[in-house]
Amino acid sequence: METKDISIKPLTHFTEDEMMLRDAAADFAKSEIAPHVHEMDEQAKLKPELVKQFFEMGLMGIEIPEKYQGAGGTFFMSILAIEEIAKVDASTSVFMDVQNTLVNNAFINFGSDALNEKYLPRLALDTVGAYALSEAGSGSDAFSLKCRAEKKGDEYILNGNKLWITNGNEADIFLVFANVNPEAGYKGITGFVVERDFEGFSVGKKEDKLGIRASSTTELIMEDCRVPAENVIGEVGKGYKIAIETLNEGRIGIGAQMIGIAQGAFDAAVAYSKERKQFGKSISSFQGMQFQLAEMATKIEMARLLVYNAARLKEAGQPFLKEAAMCKYYASEVAEYVSSKAVEVFGGYGFVKEYPVEKFFRDSKIGKIYEGTSNMQLQTIAKLILKD
């Protein structure tokens, strides 16, 4: 029987470009981000100079084509960079994750030539983007939007609020979903490119969160917000398609963030277990501790392979919906498990902010919630395995 070559690269084999970006992201995280992690977490704010450095490193436009001033890289390269940054700080990781896997990909896949020429160079070089789908009554039921858009001449007038918007404080470009025809249900949903200084648009309060505190999560307010008709992304009434496809990709990015959190917590736990002495020897010499560390390492590797597999499938143009749901679901489980165990390895020190593992634990919790809760991932997986 003839087998079909789907051209998927080996999961753990990296090209030279992939290794270069991975290593550059790791070095950047250790040298430039790490010294500010505690301060940013305490102040619940990204350092502006770090935002600038992310652009200078090319980390905000990894997949944007070179003709639009981007790095011209691949989806898998984005995933590797997200993972490396998350090993040090999840807040800055999700900052670049949303830009690359949601905002930039929406433009690349659905934007008109005119929109891409106008906005992609900005997103690659100096402008933060945000993705605005969620509302107070629209979470897992993503398409029950109350935000409305009405066509008036050569503009659309948007009214409504958005909640839980990552990068809300830093962004100047917002991809906003609103319904132009509520009677048509989800088939009225349309994507709009909204700039921060558009009339009738404002950013509301920033949420005070358990984890990823330096990442801004805000409300957006639209009161007769005027958006040029040419700023519709994709087709009118086809915004649901953009939302579905970008979130499917975004879930792989969240999976990468979660394995980064897990690896960061694990590395800290291993190092501490070698240093901490009890009964005259390091706690890493006790079999009970060794077994815990072995289990943590195994779970991380399983999660990483799920994430890499989903990313390679997506990159090869193969179906990846089930694998994206699986990797996000499992990686978020592993991040919470490993970071919790890391707190226990540190004992009392794991419970105080002087040591890094309590932050990894706090940061891990969001993985089961945003870009589709764990229950929604399980529903997607079940639906696909039972389809036939």
228, 154 Cβ separation under 8 angstroms: yes
Which residue spans within 180-289 are E strands per DSSP?
Answer: 189-195, 201-206, 217-228, 232-233, 277-278, 281-282
CA distance 22 to 323: 23
Q: Is 2 a catalytic residue?
A: no
Burial class (CB in 10 A: 0-12, 13-18, 19+), 115: middle
CA distance 371 to 73: 23
Using only C-alpha atoms, the chain has a radius of gyration, in whole angstroms, of 21
CA distance 323 to 258: 15
| 293 HSE (CA, 13 A, CB side) | 19
CA distance 268 to 224: 50
285, 344 Cβ separation under 8 angstroms: no
CA distance 244 to 249: 9
Contacting residues for 152 by C-beta, under 8 A, at least 6 apart: none
Q: Which residues are catalytic?
A: 371
